[in-house]
Structure 1
Amino acid sequence: MISQFFVLSQRGDNIVFRDYRGEVAKGSAEIFFRKVKFWKEDGQEEAPPVFNVDGVNYFHVKVVGLLFVATTRVNVSPSLVLELLQRIARVIKDYLGVLSEDSLRKNFVLVYELLDEVIDFGYMQTTSTEVLKSYIFNEPIMVDAARLQPLRPAAIFMELKGCLAQQLQNHVVANEPGGRKREEIFVDIIEKISVTFSSSGYILTSEIDGTIQMKSYLTGNPEIRLALNEDLSIGRGGESANDYRSSYGSGAVILDDCNFVESVRLDSFDMDRTLALVPPDGEFPVMNYRMTQEFKPPFHINCLIEEAGHLKGEVILKVRAEFPSNITANTVVLEMPLPKYTTRASFELEPGVTGQRTDFKGANKKLEWDLEKFVGGVEHTLRAKLTFSQDLHANITKEAGPVSMTFTIPMYNVSRLQVKYLQIAKKSSSYNPYRWVRYVTQANSYVARI
C-alpha cells in the first residue's frame, strides 16, 4: 500500500504527482529530492533505493534519468514497491513508445489515466499492458526524436533504433481493430462494512455503506435499465435488528435507506426494482444505500492474551474466512495494541505459509499481521511471545486490544444486493456493447474486542 506516487526530472521538477491516500504531506517530493541530492550518510555517494525521513518511507528507482518515487507511512515490502515502480515505468513506456520528460509532459492525461487504473487508493490493481488495453481510451501523442533528452552515444543509438523505429509504430491503443472506439460500460457495487465483535465473538454492531458506481464509454448516451433483486426492500418493515437467522436465511435484501442520482428514473422501481437512466460519459454514482441489519461477516476473529510467566505474555490470534473457497481476499491487515510496557515480541506462524508478514511497532506498542491473500473457508493462526518491562498490576486483557482488521474482497458482497441484468437501448441489430459488473467488499471499521 502506497500513499503517493510521483516522477521527478534530473533537476527535481515534479512531472507527475498522484496522492492516493492523503497521509503524507504535499511537500514530500521536495523533501525527497533534497535528501537524495545531498545524501552523505554513512559515507555513501548515492542514496539507497529505500530510506525513511520523519516517519515517511521513500522508495525510488531511476529509469532513463527520471526518478520514479513512492511514499508510505506503513510498513510494506520494499521489493514489492520497487518492482511496482519498475512495472509502472514499463507500462508507461509501452503506451508512450519513448519514456522521457518530454513524452510524459505531452501525455500527462494518458499517464494519469494509467495511474488510476494501475493503483486504486494506494493498492496495486494490475500492471499488465494487455489487461489495461480494455480500460485506457486516450491515445498517445508522439514525441519528435529531436526533442529527446541528451544521452550517451550508445544510449542514443539504442533509443532511436529500438524505440522510434518500432515502439512508436506499435504503441498501445484502446480501440478495436479498424480504429473504432470500444463500446462498454462498467457497474461496480462497492460495500464498506463496519462490524464490532464482543470478546465472546458475538456481533455487537454491524453496518454496510454501499454504492453502485457506473462508468460509461457508450457513444450517443443510450438509455440503460438496471435491474436489482426483486425481493429488495427499503426500510425495516418491522424486522428486528438482531434477527440474524430470519434476515440472512430468508434471501431477502433489506436496506435501511437509499438515495439515487438525479438522472435516475424510478417509474418502475416499486414494481420490479428496475432503474432507468441515460448515463453521462465517465464515472458517476447511481445509488447509495445503507444497511444496519445484522449480516454474515466475512471474517471471524478470535483473540486470546494471557500471562506466560514472569514478565512474559502470549497472544493467540485466529482468523477464519467465512466466504466461499472460490473467493480470495487481498491486502488483509490485522493490528492489535499491546500493553504499554511491552518491550519485545517474537512471532510464530503456521508451518509452510507464504505471503504473510509480522511486525512489532515498538513506538506505539502495536502488533501487525499482514496477509497478501486470504482464501475463503481457511483459518490462519498467529502466536506471539511478549516480553514486559514490569510486573503486571492489572488484568492483561484490559491493557491490550482491540483487534482491528482491514481487507478487500473482490467479486463478493455481504448484503447480497445483485445486478440481475443490464439492458442497453439498441441503436441497431448489431449493437452489442460490452457489459462489466464487479463486486467489491472493503473494511471500514472491523473490530474485535478481547
Structure 2
Amino acid sequence: MISQFFVLSQRGDNIVFRDYRGEVPKGSAEIFFRKVKFWKEDGQEEAPPVFNVDGVNYFHVKVVGLLFVATTRANVSPSLVLELLQRIARVIKDYVGVLNEDSIRKNFVLVYELLDEVIDFGFVQTTSTELLKSYIFNEPIILDSARLSSIGPTGLFMQGTKRMPGTAVTKSVVASEPGGRKREEIFVDIIEKISVTFSSSGYILTSEIDGTIQMKSYLTGNPEIRLALNEDLSIGRGGGSAYDYRSSFGSGAVILDDCNFHESVRLDNFEVDKTLTLVPPDGEFPVMNYRMTQEFKPPFRINALIEEAGALKAEVILKIFAEFPSNITSNTIAVQMPLPKYTIRASFELEPGAVGQTTDFKEANKRLEWGLKKIVGGSEHTLRARLTFSPEAHGNITKESGPVSMTFTIPMYNSSRLQVKYLQIAKKSGTYNPYRWVRYVTLANSYVARI
C-alpha cells in the first residue's frame, strides 16, 4: 500500500504527482529531493533506495535520469515497492514509446490514466501492458524521432556508421504508423551484465554473467513464435564443481547455472532442441533470465600500478586491454580509482594521439576518473597520473588506493556465447513476412581490479 507516487526530473521538477490516500504531506516531493541531493548520512555519497524522514518511508528508483518515487507511512516490503516502481516505468515506456521528461509531459493525460488503472487507493491492481489495453482509451503523442538523443538505449546499438534499428525503444505498443498501418516487426535483445574481479596480478578471482533475453513484439494477432538457442546449451552443472574448467563437458558448451522463463513460454521441446515456444504478450517483457559463472573471456583486462616517485609524490599507471574482436566497438567507458586521502593534486598524461578521452581528479572524494568515448576491439590504452601528497604522515600508498572500477557498453557482443539461432513466426498467409531484429549488448555490472 502506497500513499503517493511522483516522478521528478534531475532538477527536482515535479513531472507527475498522484496522491492516493492523503496521509503524507503535499510537500513530500520537495523534502525527498532535498534529502537525496544533499545526502550526507552513513558516509555514503548517494541516498539509498529506501529511507525514512519524519515517519514517512520514501522509495525511489532512477530510470533514464528520472526519479520514480513512492511514499507511505505503512510498513510495506521495500522490494515490492521498488519492483512496482520499475514496472510502472516499463508500462509508461510501453505506451508513450520513449521514456524521458518531454514524452511524459506531452502524454500527461495518458500517464495519469495509466496510474489510475495501475493503482487504486494505494493498492496495486495490475502492471500488465496487455491487460491495461482494455481500460486505456487515450492515444499517445509520439515524439519526433529526430529530437531523441542517441545516448539513450537506442544508442546502445550504434556500430560506427552502421545503426541497428532502435525503433523498439521509441515505439508505442498502441500507436499506429502514419496512414493507420502498423509495421509488423519483433525485437529480441540479449542483454548481459558482467561482474568480474581481477587480482593485483591480473588473475580472475570471481566472474559472473547476469543475462536476460528481452522481447518486444509489434505483431498483430499475437502469432506463435519459436525461439531457438544454442544446441549445446546446458542448464546446471550436474553436480560438478563450478570451477572445474578442465572437463570436456565445459569446453565450447554454453553452461548456465540457472535460469527462469516468462509465464507465456512453453518448454515442450526445450530439452530436445533448445527451442522456446511462446505467444508474446503486448509490451516489453523478459523471455528468459539466466546466470552464468562458467569461465568466460572478459571483454577487458585492467592493469593498475601505483608506486612512489620521490618525496610526497607517486605515479599511477592504468592500462586497458580490449579482448574482443576488432570489428566490435565499446562505447561510454568510464574508469574510476580511489586515491589516498592525503592526495592534493594530480596531473595526467595520455598516450600520443589520444582522441575522445577525458581525465579528472575529484578532490572532494579523492578519486581519479578517466573517460573514453570508444574503444575498438584489440586495442590498448594507457593513462599515467602523477600524484602530489600533503606533508601529513601517510602509510602504504598501495593499500590506501583502489580498487579500480570500470563501466562500459559493448553493442553486438556477448561473453556467454548464448545466441538466438533462429526466430520463427507462425505464418498467417504466404506473403506474411514480418521484420525480425536480434540484438546483443554487454554492460558492466561490477568490473573491478585490485591493486
Corresponding residue of 1:213: 214
Query: Could you say which residue in structure 1 is the equivalent of 2:413?
Result: 412
Q: Per-residue displacement from partner, 1:69-100 (whole Å, max 9, x unpaired)? A: x979xxxxxxxxxxxxxxxxxxxxxx9xxx99
The alpha-carbon deviation at position 395 of structure 1 amounts to 2.1
> What's the offset of the Cα at 1:246?
5.8
3-state SS of paired residue (1:271) = helix
Root-mean-square deviation over aligned CA pairs: 4.0
Shift of 1:262: 1.3
Map of 1:401 onto structure 2: 402
- Is the alpha carbon distance of 1:381 and 1:225 closer, same or farther for their aligned partners in structure 2, counting shifts above 3 Å? same
The answer to whether the 8 A contact 1:5-1:71 is kept is no
**Deviation by residue 1:205-238 (Cα, 9 ceiling, x = unmatched):** 1111111110011000000000000000111135
How far apart are residue 423 of structure 1 and its match?
A: 0.3
* Residue of structure 1 in register with 2:324 after alignment: 323
**What is the identity, as a one-letter code, of the residue corresponding to 1:185?**
I
Q: Where does residue 428 of structure 2 map in the other structure?
A: 427
Check whether the contact 2:157–2:164 (CA below 8 A) recurs between aligned residues: no
CA–CA separation in structure 1 for the residues paired with 2:104 and 2:185: 33
Helix, strand or coil for the counterpart of 1:110?
A: coil
Per-residue deviation, 1:241: 3.2
CA gap of 1:175–1:246, structure 2 versus 1, over 3 A, is farther
Decide which of 127, 141, 145 is 1:110's aligned counterpart: 141
Contact conserved, 1:302 with 1:317, CA < 8 A, in 2? yes
CA distance in 2, matches of 1:377, 1:248: 29
Q: Is the 8 A contact 2:414 2:441 kept in 1?
A: yes
Amino acid of the residue matched to residue 380 of structure 1? H
User: Displacement of 1:295 after TM fit?
Assistant: 1.0
Query: 1 CA distance for matches of 2:155 and 2:372?
Result: 14
With 233-242 and 369-378 compared, the bigger mean Cα shift is at: 233-242
- Note if contact 2:342-2:394 (Cα within 8 Å) is conserved in structure 1: no
Partner of 2:445: 444
Match of residue 222 from structure 1:
223
Q: How much does 1:175 deviate? A: 2.4
Q: Distance in 2 between matches of 1:185 and 1:252?
A: 28
Question: In the alignment, does 2:381 pair up with 1:380?
Answer: yes
Please tell me whether the aligned partners of residues 154 and 166 of structure 2 are also in contact (alpha carbons under 8 angstroms).
no
Structure 1 residue 131: Cα displacement:
6.1
AA aligned opposite 2:404: V
Cα 1:13/1:231, change in 2 over 3 Å: closer
The separation in 2 between residues aligned to 1:139 and 1:419, in whole angstroms, is 24
Find the counterpart in structure 2 of residue 89 from structure 1. Answer: none
Counterparts in 2 of 1:137 and 1:382: CA distance versus 1, 3 Å:
closer
Matched residues in 1 for 2:442 and 2:423: separation? 21
Residue by residue over 1:325-361, the C-alpha shift from the partner in whole angstroms, topping out at 9 and shown as x without a partner, is 1111111111000001000000000111111101001
CA distance in 1, matches of 2:298, 2:389: 34
Name the CA distance, whole Å, in 2 between partners of 1:26 and 1:381: 44
CA drift at 1:248: 11
Whether the 8 Å contact between 1:334 and 1:369 is mirrored in structure 2 is yes
Q: Take 2:9 and 2:343, find their aligned partners in 1: how far apart are those partners?
A: 38
Deviation at residue 123 of structure 1 after TM alignment: 7.6
Aligned counterpart, 1:63:
none
- Deviation at 1:418? 0.3
1:241-291 Cα deviation digits (max 9, x unpaired): 334566898220000111111111100000000000000111111111111
CA distance in 1, matches of 2:235, 2:374: 35
After superposition, the Cα gap between the structure-2 partners of 1:192 and 1:243, relative to the gap in structure 1 and judged at 3 Å, is same
Structure 2 residue aligned with 1:303: 304
5 Å matches for 1:262-341?
A: 262-341=263-342
**Counterpart residue type for residue 368 of structure 2:** L
Q: Which residue of 2 aligns with 1:46?
A: none
**CA 118–378 in structure 1, closer or farther in 2 if over 3 Å, else same:** closer
Distance in 2 separating the partners of 1:327 and 1:302:
22
Equivalent-residue separation in structure 2 for 1:324 and 1:401 (angstroms): 29
How high is the TM-score relative to the length of structure 2?
0.67
Deviation (angstroms), 1:29: 12
User: What TM-score does the superposition give when structure 1 sets the normalisation length?
Assistant: 0.67
Is the CA contact 1:225–1:275 (under 8 Å) kept in the aligned structure 2?
yes
CA distances 1:85-127 after superposition (whole Å, capped 9, x unpaired): xxxxxxxxxx9xxx9999676787435896998564798878x
Please point out which of 174, 177, 182 is paired with 1:175: 177
Q: Is the 8 A contact 1:117 1:135 kept in 2?
A: no
Q: 1:122 to 1:220 in 2, by over 3 A?
A: closer
Percent identity reads 70
Counterpart amino acid of residue 402 in structure 1: P
Separation in 1, partners of 2:413, 2:361: 32
Q: Distance in 2 between matches of 1:130 and 1:287?
A: 22
Contact 2:168-2:187 at 8 Å conserved across structures: no
Contact 1:6–1:16 (8 Å) recurs in 2? no
For the 8 Å contact 1:197–1:203, the answer to whether it is kept is yes
SS in 2 for 1:182: coil
Q: 1:335 to 1:417 in 2, by over 3 A?
A: same
Query: Residue 327 of structure 2: SS of its match in structure 1?
Result: coil
Task: Map 1:94-243; keep pairs closer than 5 Å.
Answer: 109-110=140-141, 120=152, 136-137=170-171, 175=177, 179-243=180-244
Aligned residue in 2 for 1:253: 254
Matching of residues 346-365 of structure 1 within 5 Å: 346-365=347-366
Q: 1:372 Cα shift?
A: 1.1
Secondary structure of 1:262's counterpart equals: coil
Judged with a 3 Å threshold, the aligned counterparts in structure 2 of structure 1 residues 104 and 210 are, in CA distance, closer, same or farther, namely closer
Secondary structure, aligned partner of 1:270: helix
Change (3 A) 1:391 1:242: farther
Give secondary structure in 2 for the equivalent of 1:302. Answer: strand
Distance 1:247 1:134 in 2: 40
Q: 1:139 to 1:415 in 2, by over 3 A?
A: closer
**In structure 1, C-alpha distance between the alignment counterparts of 2:394 and 2:248, rounded to whole Å:** 45
Is the radius of gyration larger for structure 1 or structure 2?
1
Counterpart AA for 2:257: D
